[in-house]
Amino acid sequence: DNGRRGRPVTGPNNRPLKSLSDMLKGKQGRFRQNLLGKRVDYSGRSVIVVGPELKMYQCGLPKEMALELFKPFVMKRLVETGAAGNIKAARKAVERVKPEVWDALEIVIRNHPVLLNRAPTLHRLGIQAFEPVLVEGRALKLHPLACTPYNADFDGDQMAVHV
């Protein structure tokens, strides 16, 4: 173990070999370099604004963000209801944002709660599930009383959404 005192074990080019603990720890280690901070599918991030009209268990999800997050579910719904003949037609309908897409989205989000997370997640209340409600604009809406566990306020804080 080259992490200990003494003369380090060297490789063929006279450089000290990295121990297993060296490969895992620190900023350049496996966890922080490769595993954390990657892009995640079915997630989004936006600024939060106050939504006093919402119930405690609801969050306002911007329409454009919701359409992107729930795209596969909306496409499936369009095919099931006959609004689109096949997946290719459903994809085109979603890309062109036809009126029936919004109807399908409304139905899809009824059965899908979303997770809201505010970094840093220091305890289990840092991630909570909410019932999404479609709203105009680009900001997530959150009931003011739901902010305490997140230690969030409305001065530009951002939150992540996961489906």
Can you tell me the distance from the alpha carbon of 113 to that of 130, in angstroms, rounded to the nearest whole number? 6
Average pLDDT for 138-158: 92
- Kindly report the average pLDDT of the chain as a whole number: 88
Contact residues for 23 (Cβ-Cβ < 8 A; gap 6+)? 29, 30
For domain 39-62+112-163, which architecture applies? Beta Barrel (2.40)
- For 150-160, the pLDDT digits (tens) are 999 999 999 99
Residue 154's identity, in one-letter code, is F
Can you tell me the distance from the alpha carbon of 116 to that of 128, in angstroms, rounded to the nearest whole number? 6
According to CATH, the topology of domain 71-111 is Ribonucleotide Reductase Protein R1; domain 1 (1.10.40)
Instruction: Show the DSSP H helices in 15-70 as ranges.
Output: 20-24, 30, 63-69
For the chain, give every domain's residue range: 1-38, 39-62+112-163, 71-111
pTM for the structure as a whole? 0.74
- For 112-136, the pLDDT digits (tens) are 999 999 988 888 888 899 999 999 9
| Pairing mode, strands 127-135 and 114-117 | antiparallel
